[in-house]
Structure 1
Amino acid sequence: MNRISKNSLRAVALACATLAASAQAGEVEVLHWWTSGGEAKAVGSLKATLQAKGHTWKDFAVAGGGGDSAMTVLKSRVVSGNAPAAAQIKGPSLQEWAAEGVLANMDDVAKAEQWDSLLPKVVSDIMKYKGNYIAAPVNVHRVNWLWANPEAFKKAGTKVPTNWDEFFVAAEALKKAGIVPVAHGGQNWQDFTTFEAVALGVGGTEFYKKALVQLDPATISSPTMEKVLTTFKKVKDYTDKNAPGRDWNLATAMVIKGEAGMQIMGDWAKGEFVAAGKVPGKDFVCVAAPGTAKAYTFNIDSFALFNQRDAEKTKARKDLAVAIMSTEFQETFSLNKGSIPVRLNMKMDKFDDCAKASSADFVATAKTGALVPSIAHGMAVNSAAEGAIKDAVSQYWNSDKMSAKDAMGKIALAAKTR
């Protein structure tokens, strides 16, 4: 984002004004990367809500790359003076876009809809730039989950772990029973997802905040970080040789089939179990990653709205923001996506046991300060630092010779990336 020239961005306002003059009144073009079955169905409900208010929905879906492809397209659209009305953007990237002056102030909608009272402060802060709302949150994914196959654990004669000592006892028992202990896909974001779970479970919430949100040099170089890295690397001993390059859903399939005992992955993994006809609490178990029962790493999807000059398009944009935060959409979307609503006052009657547990923990940790952003999923630090740290973590994971102290040095250096 920072590489976009100021001259190009100054042209955005004029170009958007020209575009708005020729666009259909009340049209909302929405850029997103929700293209799978459940996601597409959820987006359809949002589209229907806007159409019911008399607006025209123009779908702009860009599949692939977990949003990377969509962001590339978005940047080119903004530079060319043809920004969509709304775009799926999340985490610190919201502030980077807002700093360029291209996002709309949504305070009037937020105040009328009482967003400050409906969202945990740690969430609303991410949705704001210099105290003003510039995005509407859609849902919450809990990242620090451990998924387990109860039959595999029964066969191995061991129990689902609640801390890292128990984790390695269980892993050893699964290994002896001929079951892959940990289903993993050797991709850097999957390595990083495991790493942040270990950091939270071994180091605790305050350590996590200082090391992976504030990027505090002293904490990154501390004995606790060395213990985190040592524990993290030990996990790899219990993955299989075919892990490198494996997609996350194929790793989940290993747990579903009983080929593997457990997987550390966000709650999107639940969709794979449910799609396979499995029932939570019976065919699979969802528990907090070892040592993290009283903490919650979140990944929140959100929509930023771009400045519009046309009155009808501005009205449509505001109606979109209202619809996103409505109880109806929050429920429908998360039921399809496997996530939970971001609103704090939602009824969870229609949700499964995993989602109910996630919601209860979301509310509880919001009060205790243990609700923390996932660095592995773009919620904690700027994209440049995140990418550099992610690479350093994967280098350590994949190296037979790099020590934990060497890895600490690489992470410390990566944390300075801007």
Structure 2
Amino acid sequence: MSLLLGCTALGAQAQTLDVLHWWTSAGERRAVDQLVLQLDRRGIAWRDAAIPGGGGGGAMKVLNSRVLARDPPDAAQVIGRTLADWSDLGLVLPLDEVAQRNRWSQSLFPLVQRVITHRGRIVAAPLGVHRINTLFFNQRVWAQLKLGAPKTWGDVEQAAAALRRAGIAPFAWSDEPWQIATVFETLLLSEGGPVLYAELAATQRWQAWQDPRVAKALERLRWLRRLNGETVIEQRWTASARQLFTGDAGMLIMGDWTGGELTAWGAQPGRDYGCAPVPGTAGMHLYSIDTLAMLVGTKKREAEQERMAEVVVSPAAQLAYNQAKGSVPVRDDIDPTQLDECARDSWQTLKRADSPLLPSIAHRMAADEATKDALADALHRFVKDPAVTPARAQERLAALIRSAARATPSQ
């Protein structure tokens, strides 16, 4: 918090912008601090409106209430499908001139350019690309037990057995609905492959959810959860990351923001922790993209909002922010040797022309807020109630997507 308070207090001439987001963990705060420093150099002070809560559910509720009260923040973490919806409602300031001036179309990954473009307009400033299909493991524990990097589900099973013999929980696991949904979508990609996953992520293709491979992913989800035994709790993702950090757990499936958190605690990739694509997803990128939307309000701060957008996409801000966050820059013109080994593999996967790039369902890239939450709740019931079979859970998921398809016009 010291940087946030200090930079806001600097210079009465700095224009203050109110920024609402849910970056509240240690790694996320370090990343925000980097943006604060970069913006301060350009005369923009960041007034923090951080709302705690993994997954951003609480932040979105606060943001919705502020918009309805006609008191929107100047900028907000608005991502994925929500960004398009808000743009249609006229709530988002277009950034076409900023993008043109700074040649975003030539420096951003094509995927990122598509995500921030809606109906031909640039509607957000991109911050970083997260890779969801990441399996973290404690490198020190792996060295002690002489284990190889877990590349297959067979490797995971063998590692789990060795970890249990050593008195270590195989997985840092939480039954929080959004965390279950995060793990499950990586299993959909693993069991179904990129073609089926792309169909699953398209709301209008609800029939894809009836594919037998969806049932296999559900079976894999239940198998993973049972590797730890029957004692499972709901805890914040940071608590799970802490279990991995201390060696109380050997593995964790979570987005690469985990790397930012571990680094904030003093860990180093390759020495203290390792990372690998979730088995069956090597060479693929299941993505969630952080974006800042500049919101239309009565305060008329368009010039400052455009300057903020320009700064956060600049090469210096991109490297500083993403090195702290665990994500990778949205730009394809940076030097990847400046990234750690986990981030470098993510960036290079984005860079390869033949890499399957798939939108996260659990993190708003491919589903609206209501559908995302409904799917997470259905998965939560499945893992908590052994009486719910994979077939029944699959029927429920397909019904939810079919309902969403009926409510959403074809694009």
Give the TM-score range, shorter chain: 0.7 to 0.9
Paired residue for 1:216? 205
SS of residue paired to 1:103: coil
Matched, 1:322 2:298: no
Where do 5+ consecutive residues of structure 1 fail to align? 1-23
* Paired residue type of 1:299: S
Q: How has the CA–CA distance of structure 1 residues 243 and 122 changed in structure 2, closer, same or farther, with 3 Å as cutoff? A: same
TM-score, length basis structure 2: 0.87
User: Once the 2 structures are TM-superposed, how far is the Cα of residue 134 of structure 1 from its aligned partner?
Assistant: 0.6
Looking at structure 1, the residues matched to 43 and 155 of structure 2 have their Cα atoms a distance apart, in angstroms, of 57
In the other structure, the counterpart of 1:299 is 288
1:397 aligned partner: 383
Of 162, 171, 179, which residue of structure 1 is paired with 2:168? 179
Alignment partner of 1:411 is 2:405: no
- 2:226 and 2:385 map into 1 onto residues whose CA distance is 12
* Farther off after superposition, 296-305 or 215-224: 215-224
Partner of 2:94: 105
Change over 3 Å in CA distance of 1:389–1:307 after alignment to 2: same
In the alignment, what sits opposite 2:223?
A: 234
Bigger CA radius of gyration: 1
Q: Residue 332 in 1 paired to residue 316 in 2?
A: no
Q: Structure 2 vs 1, CA of residues 282 and 215 (structure 1 numbering), >3 Å: closer, same or farther?
A: farther
Q: Is the 1:137–1:303 Cα contact (8 Å) retained in structure 2?
A: yes
Tell me, yes or no, if the aligned pair for 1:396 and 1:402 is still in contact at 8 Å: yes
| Pair 1:368-2:354 in alignment | yes
Which SS does the other structure have where 2:208 is aligned?
Answer: helix
* Greater Cα offset, 96-105 or 165-174: 165-174
Q: Is the 8 A contact 1:213 1:375 kept in 2?
A: no
- For the 8 Å contact 1:153–1:174, the answer to whether it is kept is no
Whether the 8 Å CA contact 2:19–2:75 is kept in 1: the answer is yes
Which residue is equivalent to 2:279?
290
Matching residue within 362, 375, 379 for 2:365: 379
- TM-score, length-scaled by structure 1: 0.86
Aligned to 1:205: 194
Distance 2:143 2:356 in 1: 32
Q: Deviations over 1:116-161 (max 9, x none)?
A: 2223333222212212111111112211111112443455564332
Deviation at 1:325, TM superposition (A): 0.6
CA distance in 2, matches of 1:388, 1:104: 30
Q: CA deviation at 1:276?
A: 4.1
Report the equivalent of 2:340.
352
RMSD: 2.4
* Secondary structure of residue in 2 paired with 1:186: coil
Alpha carbons of structure 1 residues 328 and 150: separation in structure 2 relative to 1, 3 Å:
closer
More deviation, 301-310/350-359: 301-310
Distance in structure 1 (CA, Å) of the matches to 2:30 and 2:101: 28
Unaligned runs of 5+ in 2: 1-12
Structure 1 317/264 Cα, relative in aligned 2: closer, same or farther at 3 Å?
A: same
**Residue identity in the other structure for 2:180:** D
CA distance in structure 1 between the partners assigned to 2:243 and 2:50 by the alignment? 30
SS in 2 for 1:343: coil
Distance 1:302 1:60 in 2: 16
Structure-1 separation of matches of 2:219 and 2:307: 50
Give secondary structure in 1 for the equivalent of 2:20: strand
Percent identity over the alignment is: 33
Call closer, same or farther: CA 1:95–1:175 in 2, change over 3 Å. Answer: same
Q: How far 1:68 moved relative to its partner? A: 2.6
Distance 1:174 1:34, change over 3 A: closer
Corresponding residue of 1:16? none
